Amino acid sequence: MAFNLNSLVSDINKAVANISDTIVKQAQTALSVPGVLTGIAPSSDPHQLGTDAVGVAQSFDHAENELQTVDQANPGRKWQPEWDGYRLRYYGLIHDTTALATLASQYLNDFKHLVSDKFNPDVAAWEANRALITNFIKDPRGQQILQSTAASSQGFTDLRRSVEAFKDQFSAFEVVQKADFDIRTKQLQGDIDALQAEIAKSQSTAAQLERAIKSALGINPLLSWLIAQILSGLGVSSVDQARRLLDQTYKEEAELRDKKNAVDAEARDVNQRSATLQQVQHALAVLANDVTDIASRLDRFAQSWSDTCHDISLLEAEMTNASDSASKTSFAARVKLLGESTTVLSAAMDAYVAAINVPWVVTR
């Protein structure tokens, strides 16, 4: 039997084409699972991601209010103005990601409608297909999305580092302040104890004077020697003098109580300032973790559309490399699958934008 090279080549091409069709069908089946097309895990919820991003923004607001209270109560470094800069940076980044997600969603939808849906798998339409891809890749939005995504990722990285450094600086400040507050609290408690002892002494003196006056008034005036004996133990010689001393004792006790009340108020203020610092320090620690978390999640989310845009940018070169029937068939399937992936990804980006509520962010 004569060896037929042309027949062998034809058989090989058919086999390769059949293998390619099988791979494409298997890929389509696998990619029909929600979350696979975009690289987003099924457990990831773009709407929840947007909601959490808004929650972090609200935490920034709350922390700023707390820091303003700290600044008002503690002289020296002012924390709130610096924090406000970080807060505004976060709002700016969230606004940028919503604008970027909107742009990317439109761009990827256009790819599906203008390229993927119109891509003809027939080899005879190859040049028309090439024109679809070439014209779309000229769209400047593709490179804009890639560059803006990289800038946004760097922005979140820089903000995360700034918030972490701020948190550490405030933590060190809180430690120093707490030590000062503890010393002052002990001093104030000593003052309170001393004043309370003086008040107790004054109350005892007043009680003795009251009893002495009452006893003296119950004795016959003719027994003046007995009255004098009763009053002498208190350092007075007459009922009128005892009354004046009692009034003076009442006055001194009232003054002591005023002093004690003032010291009590200062002690409460010191304790409140210490508690506020601890509360703010804890809030900053939690928020620093939240910023790290949301930045990482947003970065992964943005990377999904960035990767897709990057894949689109490579199509022209890949199309040129598709030189035979099998590779052209595989390439056509890739374009179709890429178009299908943009539908899921665009829906995810739209859900994220809806959760953010752009006007709310812009007006902050």
Domain limits, the chain: 43-195+276-362
Q: Give residue 362's pLDDT band: very low, low, confident or very high (50, 70, 90).
A: very low
Specify burial of residue 111 (Cβ count, 10 A radius: 0-12, 13-18, 19+).
Answer: buried
**Mean pLDDT of the chain, nearest integer:** 78
Contacts of residue 159, defined as CB under 8 A and 6 or more positions apart, other chains included, come to 86, 89, 90, 93, 291, 295
In this prediction, residue 15 carries a pLDDT of 43
Is the pLDDT at 329 greater than 80? The verdict is yes
Contacts of residue 334, defined as CB under 8 A and 6 or more positions apart, other chains included, come to 318
Among 22, 34, 4, 58, smallest CA distance to 351 is for 34
Is the pLDDT at 364 greater than 60? The verdict is no
In this prediction, residue 72 carries a pLDDT of 87
Give the whole-number percent of the chain exceeding pLDDT 90. 40
Contacts of residue 37, defined as CB under 8 A and 6 or more positions apart, other chains included, come to 31, 337, 340, 341, 343, 344, 345
Give me the residue label for tokens 């559309």. 305
In this prediction, residue 178 carries a pLDDT of 74
Contacts of residue 239, defined as CB under 8 A and 6 or more positions apart, other chains included, come to 213, 216, 217, 227, 231
Q: Which of 28-32, 301-305, 347-351 has the highest mean pLDDT?
A: 347-351
Contacts of residue 93, defined as CB under 8 A and 6 or more positions apart, other chains included, come to 152, 155, 156, 159
Contact 287, 62 (CB under 8 A): no
Encoding tokens for residue 356?
Answer: 């953010």
Q: What mean pLDDT comes out for the span 128-144?
A: 93
CA 344 to chain centre: 28
Q: Kindly report whether the global pTM for this prediction surpasses the value 0.75.
A: no
Distance between CA atoms of residues 248 and 246, nearest Å: 5
Contact 167, 284 (CB under 8 A): yes
Q: What mean pLDDT comes out for the span 32-36?
A: 36
Contact 348, 46 (CB under 8 A): yes
Specify burial of residue 138 (Cβ count, 10 A radius: 0-12, 13-18, 19+).
Answer: exposed
Q: Give residue 20's pLDDT band: very low, low, confident or very high (50, 70, 90).
A: very low
Q: How far apart are the first and last CA of the chain?
A: 84
More confident residue, 270 or 337: 337
Distance between CA atoms of residues 117 and 336, nearest Å: 7
In tens, the pLDDT along 264-283 reads 887 787 787 778 788 888 88
Domain 43-195+276-362 class in CATH: mainly alpha
Encoding tokens for residue 248?
Answer: 């003076």
Q: At what angle do helices 141-217 and 80-111 cross, to 10 degrees?
A: 150
Among 178, 175, 159, smallest CA distance to 288 is for 159
In this prediction, residue 114 carries a pLDDT of 95
Give me the residue label for tokens 């798998």. 121
Distance between CA atoms of residues 129 and 77, nearest Å: 64
Q: Give residue 232's pLDDT band: very low, low, confident or very high (50, 70, 90).
A: low
Phi first, then psi, for residue 346 (nearest 5°) are: -65, -40
Weakest-pLDDT range from 79-93, 106-120, 150-164, 189-203? 189-203
Q: State how far the alpha carbon of 43 is from the alpha carbons of 1, 3, 47, 51, in Å.
A: 61, 57, 12, 15
Encoding tokens for residue 239?
Answer: 């009922």
